[in-house]
Structure 1
Amino acid sequence: MITDSPAVTVGVDFGTLSGRALVVSVEDGAELGSAVHEYAHGVVDGELPGGGALPPDWALQIPQDWRDVLRVAVPAALAAAGVRAEQVIGVATDFTACTVLPVTADGTPLSEVAAFADRPHAYPKLWRHHAAQPEADDIVAAAEASGQGWLARYGGKISSEWQFAKALQVLREDPGVYAAAERWIEAADWIVWQLTGAENRNLCTAGYKGIHQDGAYPDAEFLASLHQDFAGFTAKLEHPLSQLGSPAGKLTAQAAALTGLPEGTVVAVGNVDAHVTSAAARALEPGHMLAIMGTSTCHIMNSDVPAEVPGMCGVVRDGVVPGLWGYEAGQSGVGDILAWAVRTVVPQEYAAEAARRGVPVHDLLTEKAAAQPVGGHGLVALDWHSGNRSVLVDHHLSGLIVGLTLDTRPEDIYRALVEATAFGTRTIIEAFTAAGVPVGEFTAAGGLLKNTFLMQTYSDVLGRPINVLASEQGPALGAAIHAAVAAGAYPDIRSASAVMGRIERAAYTPDPARAAAYDLLYAEYRALHDHFGRGGSDVMHRLRAMRATRTSSDIPSM
C-alpha cells in the first residue's frame, strides 16, 4: 500500500556478512521499511572463489556482493516501506572500516581484472584482515624513530587493519598488484563512486584509517624509509576530502537502474558504520561515548579538546560531527568470541537440550550463566581471540582463560568471556579518563543489545547506567540521517539527529553488590592484561609465530 509520506531517505549499511537498506521518514525518523541481502561470498578467509588457499589472518571480500546489496536490498526496502521511489530525496551509505581495495583509475577493482583474478592481494581487504601486523609494527617503529607528530593522534600505535599497513603488505608481497593499483580506496568511498560515477573521499575514513592529520598524509621521506617504492603511495590516495553530511554527487542513470531510485537523487558522502551510528543514537555531544556492539565493538566519542589517549584508534577533527574532535577506540572481538564458545565448548547434551526446548544455544548458555553469582565460576578470561585493538593495538595477541578445572562447565566459560569483553570496555573508558577525556554518558547500540544478561553485566562491570539505541538498525538509520542533511532537509547533523535519532536512557543500571564484586575480578583481569599485553610474557607472539611457520611439510604429523 502506498503511503502519503512526503519525503524519505534511504540508508544503506554494508556490514561484514550482509548489507541492509532502511527507508526513513525525514519528518520524524520513523523507520518505514527495510531489507537485508546476505553476501554470496561472505568473508573470504579460506580460499579465493576460483581456488587458491589463503594464509592465516587473511580476510577478503568480493565487490560484486556489495553491488548486489544495492540491486536487491534497496528496491526491497522501498517495497516494504510502501513508498514511491520519487519520495526519496537522498541516499547515504556506511561501511565497515578499514575495508580497502586496489582499483584502476576508473574505479574497477583489480580483483575483477582477468590478469589479477587469481592474486589474493588484488581483492578488497576486510577490516578484520590482520595479516599486515608486521607492516603495522614497522610503521610504528619508523614513526617513533623519526619523531612523527601524527603518531600521538593514534595513541602511539598504528593498526594492521588500516590503509597504510595493508598497502605496505601488498607492496612487499605482490609488487605487481601494488603497481597496477592506480587508486587505493576505502570501500566506504568506492561504493559512493559506484552511485555517483565520480570519485569522492570522506574525511572520516581518511582521518581514522588513513593517517590523514592536519591536512596531510605522512610525507614521502617517511614512506621511503619503509620501502623505497612506498614513497609515492599517497598519490593513490590524494583527493579532496568531503565533510560528513555533505552531498557527494547525484545518482547516475546506471545506479538508478540498479537501485530503482530516481536518477539525480542526492548521494551523501560516505561514512563508517560505527561513526555514522552516533547520529542515530543522539550521542554527538562531548563526553557521550557510544559503543556499537556486534561481532566486534567500536567506541566513538566527541570532545571539544584534542588529547593523547594510549591505544585509541584515532582522534580526528570533524571526524564524527563538524566542530568537534572525534575519538575512536575498539575491541576486535566480542560477539565473535561468544560465537566461538558456542562452536567450541558446547557438548552434545547442551545442544540436545537447546533443541528440545526450541531455543538457540546462545540463549541456553546465557540462561545458565545468568544464574551464577559473580566469581562463582572461578575464571577470568582475556578477550583477545581476534587480537587487541584498544588499548594495546596488537592483533598478534590471543585469548586466554585462567582457572579451568575438571568441574568447569560450558556456561562458566561463556560467562567468563562475556565478562572479559566488559572488562575490555572498562579498560578503554579508564584510558580515556586518565588522558583527560572523561566519559560522562555511555550508550550502547548493535546486535548484542538483544542479550539482556550481557547488557546488565556491562552495567555492573562499568558501574554506570547504560543507555541504548532505540533502533535495531543503528548504522542504516545514521546513514539515513546523513542523507537528510545532504539533501538539505536539515541544516546540520546535530539538528537532524535531534529529530530523527532514537535513544532510551538508563535502560540498564548497575547493581551495587555485583559492581563491587566485579571490581575484584576486574583487578585480576588487569593483572593478566598487563602481564601478557605489556611485556611480562611474549608467549602469545611466540605461539602465533610457531603456528605460522610450522607447516605439514616441516614436521610429520602423527
Structure 2
Amino acid sequence: MPIVQNRSFNSNPYNLSLKNLKQLQAGATGSEKEVYYVGVDVGTGSARAAVVDQMGSILGLSERPITRHELKASYITQSSTEIWDAICYCVKTSISQSHVDPSLVLGIGFDATCSLVAINEKTNDPMAVGPDFSDNLENIILWMDHRAQKEVDEINATGDGCLKYVGGTMSIEMELPKMKWLKNNLPLDRATGESLFKQCKFFDLGDWLTFRATDKETRSFCSTVCKQGFVPEGILPDGRTGWSEEFLNKIDVPELAEDNFRRLGGLTGKTGKWLSAGETVGQLSEAAAEELGLTTDCYVSSAVIDAYAGWIGTAAAQTEIPIPELVEQDATKPGIAKSSGRLAAVAGTSTCHIILNEDPIFVPGVWGPYRDVGARGYWMAEGGQSCTGALLAHVLSTHPAYTELGVASEASSLSRFDFLNSRLETLKKTRKERSVVALAKDLFFYGDFHGNRSPIADPRMKASITGQSMDVSLDALAIQYLGACEFIGQQTRQIVEQMTKAGYEIHAIFMSGGQCRNGLLMRLLADCTGLPIVIPRYIDASVVFGAAILELNCHCSGW
C-alpha cells in the first residue's frame, strides 16, 4: 500500500465558510486584517507552542522539555507549575520567532496528555500526589502511571452502565482509578485530622490549562467523557447524565459527589459547564495574558487530549494526492463527516488510534464510543498501544551495542533509526535474504512491556522475546529493532481488524509524530494493515497545529 506525503493542510477542518473567516478578520472595524492563533501541546516529555496564520502555516515553533519523576516503580508524576512555566516560555519564544504583533493573536488552544492534576480547592495551590507526599509541586499523576491496579479492578467489578462507553472496562491509565487511589492513600492533614483528599479539586491536565488561562472551571467533554466516566445527556437508558452519584458511591468515592460534584467541575447544566472541541471557554485573564506575552483580547478554546488534537491536525486535513479509497466519501459527506473513514494514528511515547463516526460503534478492547468529544453529535473511539516510541527507545537503550550504535550513527550523520534501517538493507544483501523482514525469521518479539491497551485491554500483559542468542553485535541490535517495528505494525493490524469487524470502515491511516520519519516502520504499517499511510506536512507539529486549529473553530463557530 502507498505512503502518501500530505503537504496540503486544510486549516479549516470544521468546514467553516470563507465568508465566516472574512467576518472574523474584519472584526469591529469592518476592514480585513491579519489574525493569528497559538496552539499549545503538552506531551509526555515536552511542551510546545506554535503560531499559525489563518491559512494554516506555522510561523513560529518552540519546544521545552518537561521532567517526569518515577520515585517508585509505576508511580510517575509531573509538576503543573513546571508545565505552565514551560508553556509561557514556548508561547513567548514562538511569538518572537514569528515576528507577529501579540495584539493580533486572536486565540490560543491547548491540548495535553490525559493526566490527573490535583490542586487545593480553596487556594488553587498544587497538592502532592505521592509517593512523596511532602512535595506539593509534584501534583500530576501522569497517564502512564500504573499505581491504581487494585482501584481499577474494583471499579470494573461494579459493571456500571457508564463502563460500556469506555470500552467495557475502565483502563488503569484513566483518571477515576487515580482519584480513588488518592482517596485510599493521601495522608491526614496534621491540623484538622481529616484526609487531604477532602481538600483536593481535580482536573484533567488540558482542562487545568484552560482554568489556569481563564480562571473559569469550564470542563471539556474530551477529558471527562474519555477518561473520567462522565456521560453526556441522552445516552444512558436510565436517564442518568453527567456524573453519577450512584456510581461514585458504589466505588467508595462519595466525596467526589458532594455539593453537586464540585471537586469534578460541578453539575452539568447547573453548577458546571461542558464544551466540545473548539468551543469558547473565555478570554485570557490579565495574569495569564501577562505571563504568556499575549493580551486579554485573546480567546481560549476548550481543550482536548493531545491525541485528539493530532486527529484534528491530520485526519481532518485534505490530502495533496487524492486517495482513491477516500474520493467518493470526500465528495458525498459534509464537513467533519469526511473524516469518518480515516484512522488517525498519533504516535509518540505511546500511539493512539482515533476514529470518528456519525453513529456509536462498540468495539471490545477499544475505548469509547465517546459522544461530543470532537464535535457535537459525533462519536469517537480510541484504540491504542501503551508504548511504541518508548518501546523502540527501550529496545535500543538496553542492548549491549547501544553505545556502538550511537558512535556509528553519529559518524554517518544519520539518526539511530535511519542508521539501523540502512544496516538492515545491507544485511539483507550480504545474507542473501529475499527481504528485510526475512532477517527476523528466527525471532519472535511480543512488545507489551507496559501492558496492553488495545484490543486485549489488560494492563498486566508483559513482553516476550524468543529466539535470542548471545550475539551482542550491532547487527543483532538491528534485528531486534526490526522485531520491535514488526510488533508495532502487527498490533496495529490487530486493532484495525477489531474496529472493522465491529463496523468501522477504515480507508486510510493518517500518521503524526516523529515516527513518521522512520521509513521502515511506515512501510511495515502499510504492509501489515493493507491501508494507505498518510504522512502530514508538519511531522513534528501536527498535534500543536491541531490545538491552534481548535482556536480558529472557536471563533468562527459563533458567526
Query: Does TM, normalized by the shorter one, top 0.5?
Result: yes
Q: Determine if the alignment matches structure 1 residue 83 to structure 2 residue 100.
A: yes
Could you list the per-position Cα deviations for residues 427-462 of structure 1 after superposition, in whole angstroms to 9, with x for gaps in the alignment?
Answer: 111111111123222211111111111111111111
Residue 267 of structure 1: aligned partner:
300
Offset of 1:288 from its aligned partner? 1.2
Cα distance in 1 between the residues matched to 2:147 and 2:253: 21
What letter is aligned with 2:257?
Answer: G
Offset of 1:466 from its aligned partner? 0.8
Q: Determine if the alignment matches structure 1 residue 414 to structure 2 residue 478.
A: no
Question: TM-score w.r.t. structure 2 length?
Answer: 0.79
Cα distance in 1 between the residues matched to 2:133 and 2:153: 28
What SS class does the counterpart of residue 60 from structure 1 fall into?
Answer: strand
Q: Determine if the alignment matches structure 1 residue 433 to structure 2 residue 488.
A: no
Cα distance in 2 between the residues matched to 1:368 and 1:212: 49
| Cα separation, partners in 2 of 1:9 and 1:355, compared to 1, 3 Å | closer
Cα distance in 2 between the residues matched to 1:116 and 1:57: 16
Offset of 1:130 from its aligned partner? 1.2
Q: Determine if the alignment matches structure 1 residue 139 to structure 2 residue 146.
A: no
User: What is the aligned counterpart of 2:439 among 364, 369, 376?
Assistant: 376
What letter is aligned with 1:74?
Answer: V
Contact 2:221-2:275 at 8 Å conserved across structures: yes
In structure 1, list runs of 5 or more residues that go unmatched: 47-54, 493-558
The 5 A counterparts of 1:276-291 are 276-283=309-316, 284=336, 285-291=339-345
Residue 477 of structure 1: aligned partner:
545
Residue 399 of structure 1: aligned partner:
463
User: What is the aligned counterpart of 2:84 among 67, 82, 87?
Assistant: 67
| Cα separation, partners in 2 of 1:201 and 1:356, compared to 1, 3 Å | same
Contact 1:342-1:362 at 8 Å conserved across structures: no
What SS class does the counterpart of residue 438 from structure 2 fall into?
Answer: coil
When structure 1 is superposed on structure 2, of 452-461 and 210-219 the one drifting more is 210-219
Cα distance in 1 between the residues matched to 2:100 and 2:123: 34
What SS class does the counterpart of residue 232 from structure 1 fall into?
Answer: helix
Contact 1:107-1:190 at 8 Å conserved across structures: no
Q: Determine if the alignment matches structure 1 residue 154 to structure 2 residue 166.
A: yes
User: What is the aligned counterpart of 1:236 among 263, 269, 273?
Assistant: 263
Instruction: Could you list the structure 1 runs, at least 4 aligned residues long, displaced by more than 6 angstroms after superposition.
Output: none
Contact 2:60-2:97 at 8 Å conserved across structures: yes
Cα distance in 2 between the residues matched to 1:183 and 1:345: 43
What letter is aligned with 1:163?
Answer: E
Residue 144 of structure 2: aligned partner:
128
Residue 250 of structure 1: aligned partner:
283
Contact 1:103-1:185 at 8 Å conserved across structures: no
What SS class does the counterpart of residue 323 from structure 1 fall into?
Answer: coil
Offset of 1:123 from its aligned partner? 1.8
Offset of 1:116 from its aligned partner? 5.5
Could you list the per-position Cα deviations for residues 199-228 of structure 1 after superposition, in whole angstroms to 9, with x for gaps in the alignment?
Answer: 120011111001112333563333333336
| Cα separation, partners in 2 of 1:280 and 1:360, compared to 1, 3 Å | closer
Residue 215 of structure 2: aligned partner:
197
Residue 92 of structure 1: aligned partner:
109
Could you list the per-position Cα deviations for residues 31-79 of structure 1 after superposition, in whole angstroms to 9, with x for gaps in the alignment?
Answer: 111111222xx11113xxxxxxxx2101100111111123211111011
What SS class does the counterpart of residue 298 from structure 1 fall into?
Answer: strand
What SS class does the counterpart of residue 51 from structure 2 fall into?
Answer: strand
Cα distance in 2 between the residues matched to 1:135 and 1:483: 37
What SS class does the counterpart of residue 249 from structure 1 fall into?
Answer: strand
Offset of 1:368 from its aligned partner? 2.1
Taking only aligned residues, the RMSD between alpha carbons, in angstroms, comes to 2.4
Contact 2:42-2:113 at 8 Å conserved across structures: yes
Residue 191 of structure 2: aligned partner:
none
The 5 A counterparts of 1:219-234 are 219-227=244-252, 229=254, 232=257, 234=261
Cα distance in 2 between the residues matched to 1:79 and 1:205: 31
Residue 379 of structure 2: aligned partner:
325
When structure 1 is superposed on structure 2, of 351-360 and 72-81 the one drifting more is 351-360
Cα distance in 1 between the residues matched to 2:524 and 2:496: 16
Contact 2:220-2:373 at 8 Å conserved across structures: no
Residue 513 of structure 1: aligned partner:
none
The 5 A counterparts of 1:169-208 are 169-174=181-186, 176=188, 179-208=197-226
The 5 A counterparts of 1:501-512 are none
What SS class does the counterpart of residue 78 from structure 2 fall into?
Answer: coil
| Cα separation, partners in 2 of 1:461 and 1:83, compared to 1, 3 Å | same
User: What is the aligned counterpart of 1:363 among 392, 413, 418?
Assistant: 418
What SS class does the counterpart of residue 392 from structure 1 fall into?
Answer: coil
Residue 340 of structure 1: aligned partner:
394
Cα distance in 2 between the residues matched to 1:324 and 1:66: 31
Cα distance in 2 between the residues matched to 1:281 and 1:351: 32
What letter is aligned with 2:478?
Answer: E
Residue 13 of structure 2: aligned partner:
none
What letter is aligned with 2:35?
Answer: A
Cα distance in 1 between the residues matched to 2:404 and 2:64: 34
Could you list the per-position Cα deviations for residues 310-357 of structure 1 after superposition, in whole angstroms to 9, with x for gaps in the alignment?
Answer: 111221112112231111111110010100111111425444433433
Contact 1:5-1:25 at 8 Å conserved across structures: no
Question: TM-score w.r.t. structure 1 length?
Answer: 0.79
The 5 A counterparts of 1:211-226 are 211-215=229-233, 216-217=241-242, 219-226=244-251
The 5 A counterparts of 1:51-66 are 55-66=72-83
Could you list the per-position Cα deviations for residues 360-406 of structure 1 after superposition, in whole angstroms to 9, with x for gaps in the alignment?
Answer: 43332232235542232222222211211111222222211122234
Contact 2:362-2:368 at 8 Å conserved across structures: no
Residue 15 of structure 1: aligned partner:
43
| Cα separation, partners in 2 of 1:402 and 1:491, compared to 1, 3 Å | farther
What letter is aligned with 2:48?
Answer: R
Cα distance in 2 between the residues matched to 1:351 and 1:479: 34
Identity over aligned residues, as a percent? 27
In structure 2, list runs of 5 or more residues that go unmatched: 1-31, 189-194, 234-240, 267-271, 317-335, 429-434
Offset of 1:231 from its aligned partner? 6.7
Offset of 1:182 from its aligned partner? 3.6
Contact 1:129-1:161 at 8 Å conserved across structures: yes
| Cα separation, partners in 2 of 1:70 and 1:410, compared to 1, 3 Å | closer
How many residue pairs match? The answer is 471
